[in-house]
Structure 1
Amino acid sequence: MTFTRRDAFTTLGAAGALLVPGQAPASTKAETTPAEPAWRRGLDNQRIADLGDGRFLNPVMAGDRPDPAILKDGSDYYMTFSSFDSYPGLVIWHSRDLVNWQPIGPALTRNIGSVWAVSLEKHDGRYFLYIPVKADPNSIWVIHADRIEGPWSDPVDLGLHKHIDPCHIVGEDGSRWLFLSGGDRVRLASDGLSTVGEVEHVYDPWRYPEDWIVEGFSPEGTKIVRHGGWFYLITAVGGTAGPPTGHMVIAARSRSIHGPWKDCPANPIVRTTDSTERWWSRGHASLVEGPAGDWWALYHGFENGYWTLGRQTLLDPVEWTADGWFRMKGGDLSKPLAKPKGGTAVPHGQALSDNFATLALGTKWSFFRPGPDEAKRVSVSGNTLTLAARGTAPVDSSPLLLIAGDTRYRFECDIAIDPGTTAGLLLFYDDKLYCGLGFDGDRFVTHQYGAERGRPANPHGRSMRIRVTNDRHIVTYDTSGDGGRTWHRFDRGMEVSGYHHNVRGGFLMLRPGLYAAGKGSARFRNFRFSAI
């Protein structure tokens, strides 16, 4: 069944458009979100960017892949994203053409807090990740590895408690620096594992006109690239979420890492200007040289109408102008673009279906806000994942979650429980906002709005197959007592378009997952995921 939706801003104007100074009146705007483009389909029917004809269609990384940190290492590209409360976290992805990506594995296994925008670098043959976390207290940490595959070191706390979004850069004199939010920076020791001196303010970011509709100034997401004798300092301003027209990319440059910095006369370089565009809140850009010497920007954005999918990674072609600045050439990124020249494509993505032959912890599954020994709760044997129960409900059970990047999908699994165990399938934003269906030996339990509600009788006992369908935010549940040969519709449907950051905060996404609470354990078999 296909559902139609009105644009999220239909209450703001006569035809649902966000009113922006200098634009056509709202009455000329379309009332619905743009028609869905024709993506190619890959593993589990998931959409993929590579169209197979020399073009690609954004996003290059679907689902919650915010704050992309990109590293070019010879002919290889490595990228990771903010992983927030998911552990193992900071999964490293590999590409050779900037469009097709495969996961390598997680770099961070110890829970040090909610992981925000990182800096991924290579210096003197060693890889570094500079990691800001929201914790008590907030700080910036560093881990390092001699191989990108790891093992990665234990985190080292740099003691920077007032900043986020570090960017590592080496100056023209060989000095190492972290540039930080707000236009600040601090020097690093030669090994990159401690700071030298105090944080200093070196740049006042460009400001947009005061009548623009934004979330807030919030200068953050600093990235620096050296090109053509200049250091280019790229910053995000306008706020990460909130109004779709807020987030944007600005740039400044200097001949020296020590400044002075001069703003680009064409700022902002990227910005969503209208709520009818396919990609909202575009910003937090990194520049990288392509396989054939051309240049590209990777940044994130929300898909129109789908804050629930989080901020997805977008790829935009870059052109260097005659005056030594750069501009983005991809427009609103709603149409196919020519792929980067050169490079070879690796197989893209990963299957989300799982027969549990191995434990894909970190690359596929992750715990939400785990304790120190959380990984001991889970094991696989005989194509069965066994999850020890914890807590009383999803709110305190640290569920296992996936990142799904499609607007319509279905997932299902066989679940068997011990006496005293409650288990089931979820759509999980965080511990205060989730929905799903669970069961114990006698009754179902309906999860809705982050609470446990209906408790109808369970006719299947301690073993059943559950299916969850999310069709453009319309959620239905089906159960089967015979392994999926016959299905029974559960009498509670839901609408989940409000399960996102602008309602709850946290910068997360609505993720499929599974949980086990109470006592004993739950056993999961034959997990199947498919985009619709």
Structure 2
Amino acid sequence: MRKIYSLIVMLSALPAVSLAAIDCQKLPGDRWKAGVEGQRQADLGNGCYLNPILSGDHPDPSIIKDGQDYYMTFSSFEDSPGLIIWHSRDLVNWQPVGPALAQPTDAVWAPDLVKYGDQYYIYFTTNRIIDEKGTKKKTLYVVTAKDIRGPWSAPKDMGLQNPASDPGHAVGEDGKRYLFMSGGNRVQLSDDGLSTVGPMSVVYTGWQYPEEWEVESFSQEGPKILHHGDYYYMVLAEGGTAGPPTGHMVIAARSRSINGPWENSPHNPIIRTQNKQEKWWSRGHATLIEGPDKQWYMVYHGYENGFMTLGRQAMLEPIVWGDDGWFTASGGDTGKPLPMPKGGEAVVHGMAWSNSFTADVFPLRWHFYHAQNNELQRVRLNNGELVLQAKGSSPKDTSPLTMIAGDRAYQVEVTAHFTPQAQAGLLLFYNQKLYVGLGVNAQGVVMHRYGMERNEKAPAHLQKVNTVDFRMINRENIVTFWTRAAGSEKWIKYSVQMEVSGYNQNVGYDFLSLRPALYSAGEGSVTFSDFRYQALPEAE
């Protein structure tokens, strides 16, 4: 059973030694220092940290070191604004900077954040459905900026026909620039990095794991290239992103030339979940980075055992370089605390969710799902209120506004005022096929469950009202809703509760997470106000 301990209680149970002598792995592995709401705090404050470094859905991390600063971005898939940039100075505490992608650009997969010369680049591919059969067309894009905080350019199609996914930028010994991609592919870039030169070609065939291993698929993907010492190192994932918890893994290869041949590491897999009892599943898609202490680390993602609904969370693990020039993971049990990187300084971790309907916070915290080009025109921010123009008829076609929650248990409250022909709703939203929640309109209440709608007569306390308070509690995948008429003090519990642990990639596809969401459907508009988010104690 879980108990919530304060840091003082945790340390009092340890022998009387200095903090520097604490064995982090002997500390409890399920204790969290209270952090900013909506973002579990990784820094335990005692020289140790506990993964994830960014909780909630932060998949396919791409990270750079820029002087004493670190910047990281992630796959944003259907989110718009997308490609949120995060900043750190110690690799553990992170703060959002801003989106690099303001306009909707299909589904954004596996970016690579790069600084080359005095310019920043983000390379990414998109997958766009082009017919009723679900056929997807991939496009390779780049966005650029002189300042990491923006403004960023509009996405530029790099002109590569039928690209692979997951670009990873590299500069060869010839001074030429390249992108390595999934499937062992590589393509040369123009000197300015804004277009491709010639077709892709396969330059690496991967590492073959034992046939008896339980994996999702071979899926050689996510190559990241590092020039270190005498070698180019390719760090990549195999085994599939989800599926069996033992599938996704980190492997490595190296070459003295950017042109190969590539020699597989004798230590492969560098990281792999060994069994489903471990805290972290499907760990992969790693990038190597030098820490502020000149030690080396890997940043990668993983699913939390029992909480795939939170999506792939960002993790940090130390590595060591051997005398043979190969690196290995040295973190031990990543379900337990690990030693903090030394030499850095902490930024304020995360950003509050409550009262986030302001111009400075809104684009960092709220994202339209499957946005159209004019989606932001539906939004008006007015003195801390969100006026959201209605669209569609249900969550399937409204492009809900979603937020990335990082807690296992939390409560959301919001007030919604709807015009006569509009419908206001609060959801837990995975994708347009899989969501739960409540909607209210002038005719009654709509229950959303399993991605379906059921219209109901309005209960007595919601009849002839146009302003409703919603409350939703997600307590470790058990979801409960309450409503009340604005001005009332009494919350009325909705009669149906929902279990949502299956709302994840292994059921719903799309590589997403289950997120609190707001929607405005029908005609007219909904004004949302007093949005409040609160992390809750976990069940004992």
TM class, shorter-chain normalised?
over 0.9
- After TM superposition, the structure 1 = structure 2 runs for residues 30-179 of structure 1, keeping only pairs within 5 Å, are 37-44=30-37, 46-135=39-128, 136=130, 137-160=137-160, 161-179=162-180
Residues 45 and 285 of structure 1: CA distance in aligned 2, closer, same or farther (over 3 Å): closer
Correspondence for 1:512 among 513, 516, 524: 516
Letter of the 2:466 counterpart: R
Aligned residues of 2:318 and 2:329 also touching (Cα < 8 A) = yes
SS of equivalent residue, structure 1 residue 43: coil
Aligned residues of 1:82 and 1:115 also touching (Cα < 8 A) = yes
Aligned length: 501
Aligned residues of 2:356 and 2:365 also touching (Cα < 8 A) = no
Aligned residues of 1:279 and 1:332 also touching (Cα < 8 A) = no
| Residues 197-206 or 178-187, more deviating | 197-206
Deviation at 1:331, TM superposition (A): 2.4
1:476 and 2:469 are equivalent in the alignment: no
Distance 1:362 1:254 in 2: 42
Aligned residues of 1:355 and 1:526 also touching (Cα < 8 A) = no
Deviation at 1:486, TM superposition (A): 1.7
TM-score w.r.t. structure 1 length? 0.92
Distance 1:191 1:183 in 2: 23
Letter of the 1:285 counterpart: A
- After TM superposition, the structure 1 = structure 2 runs for residues 129-528 of structure 1, keeping only pairs within 5 Å, are 129-135=122-128, 136=130, 137-160=137-160, 161-354=162-355, 356-358=357-359, 360-458=361-459, 459-460=461-462, 461-483=465-487, 485-528=489-532
Deviation at 1:196, TM superposition (A): 1.1
Residues 499 and 45 of structure 1: CA distance in aligned 2, closer, same or farther (over 3 Å): closer
Aligned residues of 2:29 and 2:336 also touching (Cα < 8 A) = no
Deviation at 1:36, TM superposition (A): 6.8
Residues 164 and 355 of structure 1: CA distance in aligned 2, closer, same or farther (over 3 Å): closer
Q: Give structure 1 stretches of 5+ with no counterpart.
A: 4-34
Aligned residues of 1:410 and 1:469 also touching (Cα < 8 A) = yes
Distance 2:301 2:340 in 1: 18
Deviation at 1:355, TM superposition (A): 5.4
RMSD (Å) for aligned C-alpha atoms: 1.6
SS of equivalent residue, structure 2 residue 212: coil
Letter of the 2:139 counterpart: S
Residues 483 and 472 of structure 1: CA distance in aligned 2, closer, same or farther (over 3 Å): farther
Aligned residues of 1:116 and 1:165 also touching (Cα < 8 A) = yes
Aligned residues of 2:29 and 2:337 also touching (Cα < 8 A) = no
Letter of the 1:397 counterpart: T
SS of equivalent residue, structure 1 residue 416: strand
SS of equivalent residue, structure 1 residue 452: strand
Letter of the 1:43 counterpart: V
Letter of the 2:423 counterpart: T
SS of equivalent residue, structure 1 residue 213: coil
Distance 1:36 1:456 in 2: 47
Deviation at 1:108, TM superposition (A): 0.7
Residues 92 and 253 of structure 1: CA distance in aligned 2, closer, same or farther (over 3 Å): same
Residues 288 and 46 of structure 1: CA distance in aligned 2, closer, same or farther (over 3 Å): closer
Once the two structures are superposed, residues 360-413 of structure 1 have per-residue CA deviations (whole angstroms, 9 ceiling, x without a partner) of 333100100111110010111122110000000111001111000111111010
SS of equivalent residue, structure 1 residue 363: helix
Letter of the 1:152 counterpart: W
Deviation at 1:484, TM superposition (A): 6.3
SS of equivalent residue, structure 1 residue 375: helix
Distance 2:189 2:479 in 1: 50
Deviation at 1:47, TM superposition (A): 1.8
Distance 1:63 1:213 in 2: 26
Residues 384 and 453 of structure 1: CA distance in aligned 2, closer, same or farther (over 3 Å): same
SS of equivalent residue, structure 2 residue 423: strand
TM-score w.r.t. structure 2 length? 0.91
Q: Give structure 2 stretches of 5+ with no counterpart.
A: 4-27, 131-136
Residues 484 and 188 of structure 1: CA distance in aligned 2, closer, same or farther (over 3 Å): farther
Distance 1:84 1:362 in 2: 16
